[in-house]
Chain A
Amino acid sequence: MTTARFWRDNQTRYNLMATRCGNCGKVTFPPRNVCPVCHRKSMGKMKRFQLNGEGEVYSFTVVHEAPSAFEMQKPYVLAMIRMDEGVMLTAQLIDVEAADVKIGMKVKATIRKIGEEGPGGIIHYGYKFTPF
């Protein structure tokens, strides 16, 4: 079941595909079919586009008690990132020591493995962020 669910989100996870409302201009991520501000007025006007992959750390936390799939990477940094286009998303920060992460730090998107369904299952890839 998860194979199809993840497959539907490939463009969002690989390429940060978002939507912009053709009525009010609001950017939403992940993509939406209807604008959360304009509602019905946005119907048929939601345009897909790719975020530029750059943003800054709005807030962050260091995870010491990790879910089993992330045991290998702990401690790791999970951050709220405000993208240049204004939307906020949550992602892992990599290639940086937890002590060096600062609020306001400029970061850019990269692609990494974000999980796998066991040794014989599908591998899921998606965005993580690294400092500039």
Chain B
Amino acid sequence: MDVGIVSYGAYIPRFRITPQDIGRVWGSDGDAMSKGLMIYSKSVPAPDEDVVTISVEAARSMMRRCDVSPKDIGALYVGSESHPYAVKPTGTIVAEAIGASPNLTVADLEFACKAGTAGIQMCMGLVGSGMIKYGVAIGADTSQGAPGDPLEFSASAGGGAYLIGSEKVIAKINGTYSYTTDTPDFWRREGEPYPSHGGRFTGEPAYFKHVTSCAKGTMDRMGTKPTDYTHAVFHQPNGKFPTRVAKMLGFSDEQIKLGLLTPYIGNTYSGAVPLGLASVLDHARPGDRIFAVAYGSGAGCDGFDITVTDEIASYRRDAGPTVAQMIERKKMIDYATYAKYRGKIRMKEGGQ
């Protein structure tokens, strides 16, 4: 049975802030941060947006693009590290809002930035085994960096939703492989508003070791090499890391171009690879082969080998906004507005 992507949807909030604006407030060189991180602006959620609203918008776009009945969805997983509730699933609200309730299983997932792709793997298993007809996997975040922390220059918001099934598959998932270790490069304790990280430790032993190991492991298992792929998407905590890891593995700038969004919208955490893959699918043609590796701190990677099918020719991509359209639809804000929207200003009780 061929299991793969039947439909997809994406969502990126409208507001943007530049590293220069953030640097000006904290006395750091915004230009240098922008150049160092390869980030020109990052997305900021409106005060009435969160992981639920982002997930619903992406999932609705996904459903509009296909003819699948929401009642045929047997599982729905939302991966995020910024679920609005500590206890009360995001997924139940999303399922209700797309009309999939009540005959399905739902769970919220957390694995730093790769919980969305973990959901794709879970749906692949359930569809492949015949337990369900369709599964939905969503990766979305409204991530926060502590004020003044280098993370504040990149932590942003957005998400992607994937309908996994075995009929009318627009992109067949040929195989998936994961690489996981206990590496504490980034974490947030219960009740803490901002995450902590290991500084430079997040690079070599964490991101680069896991992404390269997972990428090589995936290609070994699939019997492929970088030149076999039309496009590649890597987790993108900034613009530099995925660019460097692509080079290390032998992928060209052209191969990662469509899926590299962090320079324009920042690090959307669980939304990063789902959004990058959505951007590739917005342009993909039958026969295109896509390589994707998601990374989550803590740490682990999910690698995917995907082939775009002939079904994409009749797929209604226009029924939902493209990633490029959402990147273009933007309003720049200053740091004061950003601080207000992100709850960094202490308000009187009752203020939202």
* Interface set of A (CB-CB < 8 Å, partner B): 10-11, 14-15, 50, 68-73, 94-95, 110-116, 118, 123, 125, 128
Contacts of B47 in A (CB 8 A): 72-73, 113
Interface hits, B9-65 → A, CB 8 Å: 14, 46-50, 52-53, 56-57, 60
22 contacts between A and B (CB under 8 A): A10-B96, A50-B99, A68-B348, A68-B351, A69-B350, A69-B351, A70-B352, A71-B351, A72-B340, A73-B46, A94-B46, A110-B53, A112-B48, A112-B53, A113-B47, A113-B50, A113-B52, A113-B352, A118-B350, A123-B52, A123-B85, A128-B48
B56 and A111 within 8 A (CB): yes
A73 and B351 within 8 A (CB): no
Looking at the assembled complex, report how far the CB atom of A15 sits from the nearest CB atom of chain B, in whole angstroms: 7
Most buried by B among A15, A50, A70, A111: A111
A71 and B352 within 8 A (CB): yes
A113 and B350 within 8 A (CB): no
Looking at the assembled complex, report how far the CB atom of B344 sits from the nearest CB atom of chain A, in whole angstroms: 12
Asked if B104 is at the interface (CB within 8 A of a chain A CB), the reply is no
Contacts of B52 in A (CB 8 A): 111, 113, 123, 125
Contacts of A72 in B (CB 8 A): 47, 340-341, 347, 351-352
Q: How many A-B residue pairs have CB under 8 A?
A: 69
Q: Which residue of A lies closest to B15 (CB)?
A: A95
Give how many B residues have a beta carbon under 8 Å from the other chain's beta carbons. Answer: 26
Q: Which residue of A lies closest to B343 (CB)?
A: A72
B349 and A73 within 8 A (CB): no
Interface hits, B83-117 → A, CB 8 Å: 84-85, 93, 96-97, 99
Given contacts A94-B48, A125-B52, contact A111 B97 (CB under 8 A): yes
B99 and A110 within 8 A (CB): no
Other-chain contact of B352, A14, A69, A128 (Cβ < 8 Å): A69
Given contacts A10-B96, A72-B340, contact A113 B49 (CB under 8 A): yes
Contacts A14-B96, A15-B96, A111-B97 known; 17 new A-B pairs at CB < 8 A: A10-B96, A15-B97, A68-B348, A71-B347, A71-B351, A71-B352, A72-B341, A95-B14, A110-B57, A112-B46, A112-B48, A112-B49, A113-B49, A113-B50, A118-B350, A123-B84, A125-B93
